[in-house]
Structure 1
Amino acid sequence: MVKSPNLFVVGAPRCGTTSLFAALKQHPDVYASVLKEPHFHAPDLPAQPHTVSDPDDYARLFAAAGEQRIRAEASVWYLYSHEAPVRIAQAHPDARIVVLLRNPAEMAISLYELYLRTGNEADIDPESALLRTRQTRFDTSYFPFGLHYLHLLDFATPLARWRERFPGERLRVVLFDEFYRAPEAGFRALSDWLGIDPHAPISFDAKRAREAVRMTAMKQLRDLPEHLRRKLNPNASRLHAGKASAAIPEALRTRLRDHAREVNAGFAAAAGRAWPEAW
Structure 2
Amino acid sequence: MSTHSLPLASELVSDTALFPPAVYLIGAPKCGTTALGHYLSEHPEVAFSSPKEPHYFSHDLNGLCLCDDAAQYRAIFPSDPAARVMMEGSVWYLYSEAAISEILKARPDARFIVMLRNPVKMLVSLHRQLIHALDENVEDFRTAWQLSEARAAGKDIPRGCRAPLTLLYHRTAAFGEMMARLYARVPQERVLVLFQEEMRADTAGTYRRTLEFLGLPDDGRTDFTPVNEAKKARSKLVRFMVSRAGPAREVVSGPIKRALGVQSLGLVKKMDALNNTKLGKLEVPPDLADEIARHYAEDMLQLQDLLGRDLAKLGWPMPARPSPRAAAGR
**TM-score of the superposition, structure 1-length normalised?**
0.82
Aligned to 1:143: 163
Hey, what's the Cα distance between the residues in 2 that align with 1:169 and 1:59?
27
Aligned-residue offset at 1:198: 2.0
Q: Is the 8 A contact 1:130 1:149 kept in 2?
A: yes
Q: Is the 8 A contact 2:175 2:300 kept in 1?
A: yes
Hey, what's the Cα distance between the residues in 1 that align with 2:277 and 2:298?
30
Can you list the C-alpha shifts for 1:21-45, whole angstroms capped at 9, x where unaligned? 0100111111111210000011111
1:169 correspondence with 2:185: no
* Equivalent of 2:201 in 181, 185, 200: 181
Alignment of 1:118-157 (within 5 A): 118-136=133-151, 137=155, 138-140=157-159, 141-157=161-177
Deviates more, 1:57-66 or 1:9-18: 57-66
Aligned to 2:218: 198
Hey, what's the Cα distance between the residues in 1 that align with 2:68 and 2:144?
30
Hey, what's the Cα distance between the residues in 2 that align with 1:113 and 1:166?
32
Q: 1:185 to 1:122 in 2, by over 3 A?
A: same
Aligned to 1:106: 121
Q: Is the 8 A contact 2:136 2:158 kept in 1?
A: no
Deviates more, 1:127-136 or 1:174-183: 127-136
Q: Is the 8 A contact 2:48 2:78 kept in 1?
A: no
Hey, what's the Cα distance between the residues in 2 that align with 1:163 and 1:118?
31
* Equivalent of 2:178 in 158, 181, 196: 158
Alignment of 1:1-279 (within 5 A): 3-4=18-19, 5-48=21-64, 51-62=66-77, 64-136=79-151, 137=155, 138-140=157-159, 141-205=161-225, 234=269, 242-244=278-280, 248-277=284-313, 278-279=315-316
Hey, what's the Cα distance between the residues in 2 that align with 1:274 and 1:107?
18
Q: Is the 8 A contact 1:183 1:204 kept in 2?
A: yes
- 5+ unaligned residues in a row in structure 2: which ranges? 1-15, 228-262, 317-330
Q: Is the 8 A contact 1:30 1:68 kept in 2?
A: yes
Aligned-residue offset at 1:88: 1.2
Hey, what's the Cα distance between the residues in 1 that align with 2:224 and 2:274?
17
Q: 1:172 to 1:240 in 2, by over 3 A?
A: farther
Deviates more, 1:52-61 or 1:20-29: 52-61
Q: 1:31 to 1:200 in 2, by over 3 A?
A: farther
Query: Which has the greater radius of gyration?
Result: 2
Q: Is the 8 A contact 1:179 1:186 kept in 2?
A: yes
- 5+ unaligned residues in a row in structure 1: which ranges? 208-227
Deviates more, 1:58-67 or 1:155-164: 58-67
Can you list the C-alpha shifts for 1:105-148, whole angstroms capped at 9, x where unaligned? 11110011222333322223321211323332214123322211
**TM-score of the superposition, structure 2-length normalised?**
0.70
Q: Give the number of aligned pairs.
A: 256
Considering only aligned residues, what root-mean-square deviation do their CA atoms show, in Å?
2.8
Hey, what's the Cα distance between the residues in 1 that align with 2:276 and 2:99?
24
Q: 1:98 to 1:16 in 2, by over 3 A?
A: same
Aligned-residue offset at 1:8: 0.3
Q: Which has the higher contact order (CA 8 A, sep 6+)?
A: 1
Hey, what's the Cα distance between the residues in 1 that align with 2:59 and 2:208?
34
Hey, what's the Cα distance between the residues in 2 that align with 1:269 and 1:67?
40
Deviates more, 1:99-108 or 1:138-147: 138-147
Hey, what's the Cα distance between the residues in 2 that align with 1:188 and 1:242?
29
Aligned to 2:259: none
